[in-house]
A and B are shown apart, each in its own frame.
Chain A
């Protein structure tokens, strides 16, 4: 355990460096974008004096270096600044949205894990049966359909005019009841998880098939053990490894997919907030959003690496 933790300081330092570089990049990009927050707030018919006045208030007329350093110093201390367009502190909004996105992501991840492993195992056991072919085809299609397509089709089927059993979007806090909260999470999380589910299922199937061909499994069968014991107590444990690797490595990918799903389902999460703030040129909000999303992504990969080291001692750093 201690050996795994040894990689932490270096990785965290790299994380900080990467985030700093990203913030520079985002700042540079926002300066290239046409128009600025003052323009966005007042609209294109605003007079020049009004624009100048607002720019003064928002501090947009200072030099770029000053603006950036000022923002950076505050950010490090935890002050994410004030939204240029909404004039309220950025932090509470961003953190609330982050919570919603995390809920969605975690539910999708749980679905992927349970369903992916389940269907993968059954497909492997019933290799080449109709079940196997059906699930395999479904998986292949699942990989090929973009999230907004599957999201839109899900809305069509479950919230359409013919029969509407699930709401088409939005978010309701848990305090208002379990089903109102949960029913709004089912469709978006399903749209989100389809692609990764397909990969996990395929991986689980192929690794279990491979393990079932090995000599020690043959021994177990020859010993007269029941097939169920052979598969679930012996083979499965070793077949899980590549699948777990796959799951952990691609958790970060979910974070990317969440952006589109949030737009399709009008889900108030971090992804949608990011896109809106880019449209509104709200620099503190853009920075906060992208840095949060990226740090989640990097952190997820770091966690994945550490868990992988936990599971496979060969990958641990030498003493």
Chain B
């Protein structure tokens, strides 16, 4: 490389940095959201290596202690350290959310793009089926799917890691797929009429090529924004399912489960319930900030800003 190209590259590099910096300065939601998400990710990694106490260890002598120097968040009904349990719950929460969204996209990106592009009868039928699944409230749908776990276990043994329950992830992933398919499909429909797509067809490209090599790169912003929103939903649903006892089983330090267990002992001590509640809310706020921030940059006119669901 000549001296000029090196200088040009350096300038481009620092320009990218300043542009990103500018982005973060202007859009405070994105900034704080990213920071919080990074903090939680860091804590998740930390928890796999270290925690003040063993999150599973009982210690009946020290039941229901309030927060103190020895136990930063106090202890629960079994004498377990609440801080260690909350800390170890972070990877469960994050992995469940992220993997569930991953599965959702695995289904809805090909499905949404292909049906949106092809249109016609297939599109009609697929959307009818899609809407049927959307008509069952999300939690009930996830419930039904999770309940099928024992039957699947007869055929294939899915691994559990760090107390994360793969059946919950699959259930949530499938539950969110219909809505995401709709969103991606409408992007595909908008793109379908662009001239460069016509040009591809005139060149004789196959549908698969058009969808995955031409349309998909243009749909990425929508996908990223959708991912931001869906991770929050996935985390909420994961926590709700473990609250209902359908997610991780005791003694796993899943936050939903901890809140359920602690609710019966509110009269003894509120702390085992309060801290997981706060932690869960913070994680969801972080991802909401991130998702909102991303949407402000990538898709500010989106109608998604107005609707839930």
B131 is an interface residue with CB less than 8 A from chain A: yes
CA distance A242 to B306 in the complex (A): 9
CA distance A290 to B141 in the complex (A): 10
> Contact between A156 and B144 (Cβ–Cβ < 8 Å)?
no
Chain A residues 234-258 with CB under 8 Å of chain B are: 242, 245-246, 249-250, 252-253, 255-256
Which candidate, B8-16, B60-68, B207-215, B259-267, is the interface stretch facing chain A?
A: B259-267
Q: What interface size band does chain A fall in?
A: 35 or more
A residues near B131, Cβ cutoff 8 Å: 18
B residues near A203, Cβ cutoff 8 Å: 306
Chain A residues 8-55 with CB under 8 Å of chain B are: 17-18, 21-22, 25-26, 29, 32-34
Chain A residues 138-172 with CB under 8 Å of chain B are: 140-141, 143-149, 152-153, 155-156, 160-161
> Contact between A33 and B266 (Cβ–Cβ < 8 Å)?
no
> Contact between A18 and B135 (Cβ–Cβ < 8 Å)?
yes
> From DSSP, what is the main secondary structure of chain A's interface residues?
helix
CA distance A108 to B131 in the complex (A): 26
Nearest chain A residue, comparing its CB with the CB of B131? A18
B273 is an interface residue with CB less than 8 A from chain A: yes
Chain B residues 110-159 with CB under 8 Å of chain A are: 128-129, 131-133, 135-140, 143-145, 147-148, 150-151
> Contact between A250 and B288 (Cβ–Cβ < 8 Å)?
no
B100 is an interface residue with CB less than 8 A from chain A: no
Nearest chain A residue, comparing its CB with the CB of B129? A21
> Contact between A141 and B244 (Cβ–Cβ < 8 Å)?
no
> Contact between B285 and A250 (Cβ–Cβ < 8 Å)?
no
Which candidate, A62-70, A177-185, A219-227, A292-300, is the interface stretch facing chain B?
A: A292-300
B107 is an interface residue with CB less than 8 A from chain A: no
> Contact between A256 and B137 (Cβ–Cβ < 8 Å)?
yes
Given A18-B135, A25-B133, A250-B307, 12 other A-B residues pairs in contact with their CB atoms under 8 A = A22-B135, A26-B144, A33-B147, A141-B281, A144-B232, A144-B284, A156-B274, A160-B267, A161-B266, A253-B308, A256-B140, A293-B140
